[in-house]
Structure 1
Amino acid sequence: MSTRGMRSDAVNKGGANSMTSEQREIFSEIYIDNWPKLLRYAKANKWCAGVAEELVQDTFHDAWSKFGELSDHENIGGWLMLTLKNKMRNYIRSRQRDVKLFAEYLDRPEDIAAPDNFVNKIITVNALSTIQKFICDNFKDDDVVLFQRVIVDGKSHKDAAEELGITVWASQKRIERMRKKIKEEFPDF
């Protein structure tokens, strides 16, 4: 079924919460038709390869919540691709900013080179940087390891969550809370 030229009565401007079964079916077809192409595109970018699935899923989340706008668009695939490109661009900017700012606060970047021994290594080093001390003093060991995996190593929330035995949502919320605390203490971070 082609989604171009959808019947106007099949589209509800109210968003995803009030979608009819016909609209859900249309959305499912859009999802099935476009998921592989978007995923290939995201994986092709070296900066986004590890989080490609999350970025594509976020793209479809936006499509779901803006179904009225999406269904009126004459090039649905183009709308999805542009949304994905924007998400990738934002992810890359955020990742580069995190790496740059975190590196600026580290006195000894080699202290975090061995992720498996990160917590022990960071605690036993004599000359801890200010931010390292703050992280060790204010967060549980699991949170420190999660921070290392997602922010420093650039792993996806999905991979980090699987490794630590938590949900993706828990990983995202923990990082969000940690960033907020760190930002309060270090406004440039």
Structure 2
Amino acid sequence: MTSPAGVGSHPASPTPEVALDDATLVVRARDGDIRAFEVLVRRYQGPMYRLALHMLASRGDAEDVVQEVFLTAWRRLGQLRDGRAFVGWLYRTTTNRCLNIIRARRPVTEADLDRRESIDAAGSPERAAQVSEQLIALAAALTRLTPEQRACWLLREVHGLSYEDIARATGTTQTAVRGRIARARAQLAEAMSPWR
């Protein structure tokens, strides 16, 4: 991602990428340090893209969501009181934008994710084909979850967020998150049972 539009016109002080925590980078970015914001983008655009891709099953939609999320982050950085909350805010914003897209395009179609990148190229062709089939089956099973279940499951299982962080990201309670994840796991286990 490039610098947000209109942002590059101000001179920016050099920001070393190494060893700066999110809170420091957010403060610097709030003060107009473009490079500090670029470090945050480089740090989190991959995880946000993977989350959006898994939720939306569309590379184009995922790229659009990530672009929108970071542009919104740049514009609203001054509203973020605690720089340590930046990554949680990104997850919440990305999740909500994805849920809005999913709700707007119901019914959800079969996932069409290109999972070949995940397949071990050094393995045998038979093993690669089996893994590819399993990933396709998992992607299809994910599309049969409710958008809320899918979001909670992905945030927990793929991104490793705590129940508390997921509750904040999805605007619900930890109890609701646990229930959604439990139902998602049960449905996915049933869908993937032929692969055991």
Give the TM-score range, shorter chain.
0.3 to 0.5
Q: Which has the higher helix share?
A: 1
* TM-score normalised by structure 1 residue count: 0.40
Larger Rg: 1
TM-score by length of 2: 0.39
